[in-house]
Structure formats: C-alpha cells, structure tokens
Amino acid sequence: MVCIHLNRLIVGLLLLAAACREQRPREVVAAVPVPAVNPGRLAPAELNRLLLAGAHILVTHSDSVTYPCDVPLPPVISSRSKEDALFQAEMLLEALKEGRSSFAELAQTASDDVFTAKYGGRFGVATAAALPEELADALIGMKEGEVGGPVETLLGYHLVLRLPLPPEERVSGRSLVIGYAGSPENPRDDPGEPPPTRSRAQAKALAEKLSKEAHQAPERFAALVRRHSDGIRAADGGYLGSWSSLHGGKNALLNLAFVSLKVNELSDVVETPFGFQIFQRIAASPTEWLAASAISISFGPNNTPARTKQQAEVLANEVRSSLRAKPERFEELQRLYPQSPPIPPWERANQIVSVDLAVQAVRVGELTAPFVLADSVMILRREPVSAPTTQ
C-alpha cells in the first residue's frame, strides 16, 4: 500500500515558481550529433543507475506531441512548422556560440518548456532511464558544461546543457492545495471523495489570500494546511516526507523545486493539475519508518458475507474491545478476516495518510482506533520497525 497521491503530488510540484540561484559552469558550445538509434546504448540496469544533471531549451512545432509521462500540463505547442522550429533552434545555438546570451537567460526567454524555463532550463537530476531517450543519449556523450544540439524528440528540438551533479541534500517539505471543479486531478486524499465545487477563479483568489497569510507566519503553515487544504495529506499538515535530493524516489523537478527554496521558505501560488498550490521547504529529518499489522473488515455489496459500512464499524469496535481484553488473540482474529492485508514497513508519508496518522498516534504493541477506508474498516497494531532507518 503506497501513498495514493505520491506520484500525483510529485507532478504538482513540477510547477513550483521559486526563483533559482545557480552557479553556472562555463558553457562550451558545440553541436552534438545524436544518431536516431544508438548502437552503444547502455543496458537498462545501467540507465537506471546513471544520474544526469542538465538543462534544455525546447523549440516546439505544429507536429510536436507530448510524451506519455507524468507532466502537469503540456509545454507550449507552437504553430510554427518543423522546418521553422529547427531553424529557430539553430539560431539560438548561434546566439550561444557568439556569447550574446547565457544558456539560463535564453531558456527563460525562448524555451517552450514553461516549467523548466523558470529554472533557466534546468531539469534537476534524473536517471538516464527517466529522460527521453534522445536527450539521455546526448547528455551521456557530452562533458560537463558543454552545450549541444539541436536534438530532436517528439516534443520538438532541444538545445541541451550538461551540468555537474549537485551535492546531495536531504529534503523535506509541505504542500497546501486549493482545488476547484473541473481541475485535471482530484486533490482529495480519498479518491472516492467528490472534488471541490468552487470555481477556478474562486480557488485562485483563496490560494492567494492564504499565501499572504502563510508568508506572514511561515511557522504556522502546517496548521494553515490542516484548516484549508483540500487534500494531499492535509490531515498531516501537508507533510511530504523526507528524501534524498539524488535518490529520494522523487522526480528531478521535485528535488529542484525544493532545493531552490531555503528552509522554512514558501513558494508563491502555482497552478498544478490539482488546483493552486503553495509549497514550503522544512528542515529535513532522518527517514521515519513505521510498521503495523492489520485486521481489515470489509464492507459493500460484493463482500462475502455482505455487510454495510455501519455493520463493519460496529464489528470493528467489537473486535477492538475483545483485543483490549485479550491482546494475544490478534493473530487469531486476523485469520478470521482474510481480507486483512500484510503491510510491509513504510517510510512516513509513503502510506495512506489515515494509516500514517493512526500508527503514529500509538506506541509499539498498541492498537489504533478503528478507521474507515474506501471499502473496509481497519484496526492496526503498531509493530517494531525492522526496516533500515536510512535511505
């Protein structure tokens, strides 16, 4: 059971509009030819291990298509022809060769990738396997500080800059989201819960009001999230966990977004698939591992035996009362409810928020109060953590 919103949340964070402060390496401009098929391409396992840092300038055209990957919104797709796009990319490369502009400045003004343009074209650190194949092949063949291209992908033409890997950092953060009717994604922690009914304009106005309040008292951001956020771990103060900027299991732009903030600094309001979001970087702490065993009493018309939600809640309270009198019966009662799932140890914030909070509220060996999930009522017993305490 992994956190329902983890991947979606990572997508929302791509749009964080924090200004980046980078130490630019010396840029060596050269055209890097990249074959359509790279016969020397690394094996998949090697591509999954190889970390690359870089930046790009994207020039789209009328035939550009987006990759089937997790992006919040497509880049700006231009009406220019493919030939004109290639010509523009070549002109941008000439401007870099002549020193008329730095790569970051040109990315901010000329790139059709509006997300990375905010960071001077930087996309952070990613594995080679996570990048479009053509871009990964180009970067692998380049030296740090070298600019190459144009490189053609389904998105259009790219100029690429290979950057050195930044120092590894531990990163933690929080998120507040204000959703609206018709947003691309439902921000609710329970996907079965209806999305907010406010309009987009109302959501934006509320987010901007909350942003002003948050910036006046950043130390109260978690409380603000609990009161106003429409989801994404709102009950846990919007806590997203703690991870490594290089190996945290988050994508490149999530790490870039948080690294671009100082501890306790807040982002401006940014639009994401969930609505309008505000992010805060917080002091990183060691990874917190949790573990629990479960008794899950399911309900619904397809359950055998059939029972209603109310019946499942009554039964769960009876089971908990029995266990409080005789804790040693936990495994026996667990076998009576075969729907009870095994739960491997997890990192805090990588689990359903109600599970996280219930387990954190009790000590090892104690039972949680019954709580309702989409189709079951669950009782958890907190277990000792046997997982490693570091990533």
391 lies in some domain: no
Pick from 115, 118, 136: which is nearest to 127 by CA? 136
Q: Which helix (H) or strand (E) holds 175?
A: strand 170-178
Q: What was the pLDDT predicted at 291?
A: 94
Q: Same structural domain for residues 314 and 221?
A: no
Tokens of 94: 């000439």
Q: 258 and 325, same structural domain?
A: no
The tokens describing 121, both together, are 């074209």
Report d(CA 11, CA 107) in Å as an integer: 21
Residue 75: the pLDDT is 64
- Do 309 and 265 sit in the same domain of this protein? no
* Domain count of the fold of the chain: 3
C-alpha triplet 179, 207, 276: angle, nearest 5°: 45
Which pLDDT value is given to residue 28? 62
Residue 149 lies in a domain: yes
Segments in the chain below pLDDT 70: 1-40, 66-76, 247-254, 387-391
Whether residues 312 and 239 fall in one domain: no
Please give the Cα distance from 337 to 377 (Å, whole number).
11
203 plus 178 within the same structural domain: yes
pLDDT at 118: 82
Rg of the chain over Cα atoms, rounded to whole angstroms, equals 24
Q: Is residue 6 part of a domain?
A: no
d(CA 150, CA 156): 9
Per-residue pLDDT tens over the stretch 148-185: 999 998 889 999 999 999 888 888 999 999 999 988 88
**The tokens of 320 are what?**
């908990």
In the prediction, which pLDDT does 144 show? 94
CA distance 354 to 233: 9
Q: Is 50 exposed, middle or buried (0-12, 13-18, 19+ CB in 10 A)?
A: middle
pLDDT at 251: 60
Is 130 found in the same domain as 175?
A: no
Residues 75 and 181 in one domain: no
**Residue 90 shares a structural domain with residue 134:** yes
For tokens 């870089």, name the residue. Answer: 54
Domain that holds residue 152: 26-163
Q: Note the pLDDT of residue 329.
A: 94
Count how many residues are written for the chain.
391
Identify whether residues 297 and 258 lie together within a single domain: no
The one-letter code for the residue type at 129 is A
| CATH code (residue 235) | 3.10.50.40
DSSP H helices in 64-102: 82-97
Q: Quick check: is 21 in a domain?
A: no
In this prediction, residue 258 carries a pLDDT of: 81
Domain end (from 114, 136, 163): 163
Domain boundary among 265, 282, 299: 282
Identify whether 5 is part of a domain: no
Q: Are residues 80 and 130 in the same domain?
A: yes
Q: Which two tokens stand for residue 174?
A: 């929080």
Q: What is d(CA 350, CA 287) in angstroms, rounded to the nearest whole number?
A: 11
Q: Is residue 1 part of a domain?
A: no
Q: Does 145 share its domain with 190?
A: no
pTM of the model: 0.73
Do both 99 and 177 map to the same domain? no
Residue 185 lies in a domain: yes
Q: Rounded CA gap, 93 and 158, in Å?
A: 10
Q: Which helix (H) or strand (E) holds 296?
A: strand 292-298
Predicted confidence at residue 382, as pLDDT, reads 96
The residue from 163, 185, 212 where one domain ends is 163
| CA proximity to 78, closest of 60, 96, 92 | 60
* Domain-located, residue 199: yes
